């Protein structure tokens, strides 16, 4: 049988599966970046505490460390598996691609992560119980292990955009996939912004310091850390843009909303202003203000950054060979991977998809809308919501009252041929084009209600036909019994 590796589509009707993943991932980035940055900050402060024999710095580490334990480690440990669960159902072939290339990298990351988790407990609970020199050593190990987790993850994340070296496609090899300019620039950029986040979240801890002189000292320290890291991070972002594929830049220029760049600049400027204010007037730093600032940075800074990185990758989800809709769209000889496009061109998506319901494998007048819906779910719903809400709802892209002929022409001319840079090539047979177009028109002009009504009527018709057939079979059987008698 001609089947390809596709799984049932996870469809989330309100916001779309992509947003569920993005939401979880953004929280995770906030938690993980805070803890990695803080770990390095602790290494520095602990060193200073040892050199200058200062208890107050150790006390600050203990407070910040406890805050991390309660908030970021718990949030990070919930959202981390959350990323696995959500991406595994939203993008099984994408995750498969990463696992096939990087399973040992991930194992390595988890080793460092265990050191990190044990480390944060030691940092917090051994203050005052071990001498300062030992505490400093633990802090340094903790800091390096934390940063190592980031190094590994960034290698995997940047592979999602682009394998490290072109050679990877021909020869495979995880180092070829892992190391590339993109990896290291992204690592530098994330390291910088991670310190920005550490400084902002640290404000919540500083707000609780009683001694005004110490509060001022820490506000200054974290203020400088924040200012320098924000500026370095912004410069690194410019540099990063030179290391992403042409395609990604094209998507970025044309497809990111107009407010994207101005809002990023506004967030950067606001962050800098915040640090300057807290340095000049540490007394303004109260928990409410610092907490609100952390949330603002999360919502206004991280969310657009992470979603931009996601959408720049279109139409791919991983390694420039797995499309967002999970179809493998390119040969990768180095990994013994074959493009699924030739088979799709030959038999169409309904025959090639292992989870197509039996009664939809062949398009006919009685199942057209159901078949069209199945195709839209499989091919499009990862990037376009078929409902009214969610990401890029399909009905927004065709004019009101559009004809089926026009939609079919677009589907055949543009989508099945892959004639558009930001969408995958989606091969369909003529009857599939017809079914998809019929569904799209109904969805466009009548909305979900019209689609549901049409599908109900298709099912009712099928049931009626079945009942008729059953009845006539019964009559035939009775006749037969009669004859035998």
Q: Which stretch binds ligand HEC (CB under 6 A): 82-90, 196-204, 391-399, 456-464?
A: 391-399
* Shorter beta-carbon distance to ligand HEC: residue 186 or 416: 416
Give the residue, chosen from 325, 340, 443, 444, that forms a contact with ligand HEC under the rule CB under 6 A: 325
User: Judged by CB, which is closer to ligand HEC: 209, or 360?
Assistant: 360
**CB nearer ligand HEC, residue 202 or residue 424:** 424
209 touching ligand HEC, by CB under 6 A: no
Nearer to ligand HEC, 229 or 382 (CB): 382
Which residue in the set 62, 392, 412, 462 belongs to the binding site for ligand HEC (CB under 6 A)?
A: 392
Phi/psi for 353 (5° steps) reads -80, 125
CA 244/CA 247 separation, integer angstroms:
8
Largest CA distance in the chain: 109
| CA–CA distance, 413 with 419 (Å, rounded to integer) | 8
> How far is residue 271 from each of residues 88, 172, 298, 443, measured CA to CA in Å?
35, 42, 11, 44
Give which of 414, 49, 413, 444 is closest to 218, Cα–Cα: 49
Contacting residue, 54, 220, 255, 412, with ligand HEC by CB under 6 A: 255
What does the CA dihedral 209, 147, 149, 170 come to, rounded to 10 degrees?
150
Q: Which span (15-23, 75-83, 115-123, 416-424) binds ligand HEC, by CB under 6 A? A: 416-424
Nearest to 91 by CA among 25, 152, 166, 168: 25
- Closer of 124 and 308 to ligand HEC (Cβ): 308
List binders of ligand HEC among 257-316 (CB under 6 A).
314-315
Judged by CB under 6 A, which stretch of 102-110, 199-207, 227-235, 414-422 contacts ligand HEC? 414-422
Minimum distance between the CB of residue 229 and ligand HEC, rounded to whole angstroms?
32
Q: How far apart are the C-alpha atoms of 352 and 184, rounded to whole Å? A: 39
Q: Give the nearer residue to ligand HEC in terms of CB position, either 271 or 416.
A: 416
Binding mask 142-171 for ligand HEC (x = CB under 6 A): ------------------------------
Residue 470: exposed, middle, or buried by beta-carbon count in 10 A (0-12, 13-18, 19+)?
exposed
Cβ of residue 200: shortest distance to ligand HEC, in angstroms?
31
Closest-CA residue to 363 (of 448, 280, 428): 428
**With respect to ligand HEC, which residue has the nearer C-beta, 44 or 398?**
398
Residues 417-456: x where in contact with ligand HEC by CB under 6 A, - otherwise, as a string: ---x-xxx-x------------------------------
Cis ω for the linkage preceding 315 (within 30 of 0): yes
63: exposed, middle or buried (Cβ count in 10 Å: 0-12, 13-18, 19+):
middle
| Beta strands per DSSP E along 119-240 | none
Report, in Å, the least distance between residue 362 CB and ligand HEC.
Answer: 19
* Token pair recorded at residue 125: 């609970």
CA distances from 461 to 182, 324, 456, 464, 465 (A): 56, 35, 9, 5, 6
**Residue of the chain from 158, 324, 385, 444 that contacts ligand HEC (CB under 6 A):** 324
Q: Facing residues of 337 across strands? A: 332
Judged by CB under 6 A, the chain residues 326 through 385 that form the site for ligand HEC are 379-380, 382-384
Nearer to ligand HEC, 43 or 383 (CB): 383
User: How many other CB atoms sit within 10 Å of the CB of residue 31?
Assistant: 24
Q: Which is nearer to ligand HEC, 49 or 408 (CB)?
A: 408
Minimum gap (Å) between residue 234 Cβ and ligand HEC? 25
Phi-psi region of 7 (alpha: psi -120 to 50; beta: other; left: phi over 0): beta
Among 415, 451, 454, 455, binds ligand HEC (CB under 6 A): 415
Q: What is the chain's Cα-based Rg?
A: 28
End-to-end CA distance of the chain: 45
Counting residues that bind ligand HEC (by CB under 6 A) gives 19
The residues binding ligand HEC (CB under 6 A) are: 255, 314-315, 324-325, 379-380, 382-384, 392, 397-398, 415, 420, 422-424, 426
């Amino acid at each position: 049988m001609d089947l390809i590796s596709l799984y049932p589509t996870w469809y989330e009707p309100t916001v779309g599966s992509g947003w569920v993943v993005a939401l979880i991932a953004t929280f995770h980035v906030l938690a993980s970046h805070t803890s990695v940055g803080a770990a390095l900050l602790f290494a520095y402060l602990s060193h200073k505490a040892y050199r200058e024999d200062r208890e107050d710095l150790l006390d600050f580490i203990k407070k910040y460390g406890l805050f991390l334990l309660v908030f970021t480690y718990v949030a990070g440990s919930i959202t981390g598996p959350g990323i696995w669960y959500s991406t595994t159902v939203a993008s099984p072939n994408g995750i498969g691609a990463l696992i096939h290339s990087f399973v040992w990298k991930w194992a390595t990351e988890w080793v460092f992560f265990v050191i990190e988790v044990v480390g944060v407990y030691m940092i917090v609970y051994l203050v005052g119980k071990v001498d300062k020199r030992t505490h400093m050593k633990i802090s340094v190990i903790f800091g390096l292990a934390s940063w190592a987790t980031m190094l590994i993850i960034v290698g995997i994340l940047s592979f999602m955009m682009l394998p490290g070296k072109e050679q990877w496609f021909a020869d495979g090899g995880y180092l070829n996939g892992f190391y590339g300019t993109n990896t290291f620039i992204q690592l530098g950029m994330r390291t910088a912004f991670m310190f920005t986040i550490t400084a902002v979240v640290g404000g919540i801890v500083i707000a609780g310091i009683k001694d005004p002189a110490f509060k001022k000292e820490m506000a200054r320290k974290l203020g400088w850390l924040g200012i320098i890291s924000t500026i370095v991070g912004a410069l690194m972002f410019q540099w990063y843009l030179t290391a992403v594929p042409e395609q990604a830049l094209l998507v970025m220029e044309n497809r990111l909303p107009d407010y994207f760049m101005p809002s990023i600049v506004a967030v950067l400027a606001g962050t800098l202003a915040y640090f300057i204010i807290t340095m000049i007037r540490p007394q303004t730093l109260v928990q409410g203000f610092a907490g609100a600032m952390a949330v603002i940075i999360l919502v206004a800074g991280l969310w657009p950054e992470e979603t931009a990185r996601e959408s720049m990758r279109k139409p791919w989800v991983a390694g420039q060979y797995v499309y967002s809709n999970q179809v493998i769209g390119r040969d990768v000889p180095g990994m013994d991977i074959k493009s699924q496009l030739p088979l799709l061109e030959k038999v169409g998506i309904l025959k090639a998809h292992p989870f197509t319901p039996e009664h939809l494998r062949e398009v006919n007048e009685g199942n057209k809308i159901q078949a069209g819906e199945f195709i839209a779910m499989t091919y499009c719903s990862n990037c376009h919501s078929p409902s009214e809400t969610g990401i890029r709802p399909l009905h927004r892209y065709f004019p009101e009252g559009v004809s089926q002929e026009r939609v079919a022409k677009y589907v055949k001319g543009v989508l099945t041929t892959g004639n558009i840079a930001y969408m995958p090539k989606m091969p369909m047979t003529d009857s599939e084009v017809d079914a998809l177009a019929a569904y799209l028109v109904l969805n466009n002009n009548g909305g979900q209600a019209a689609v549901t009504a049409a599908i109900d009527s298709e099912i009712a018709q099928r049931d009626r036909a079945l009942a008729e057939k059953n009845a006539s079979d019964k009559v035939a059987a009775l006749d037969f019994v009669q004859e035998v008698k």
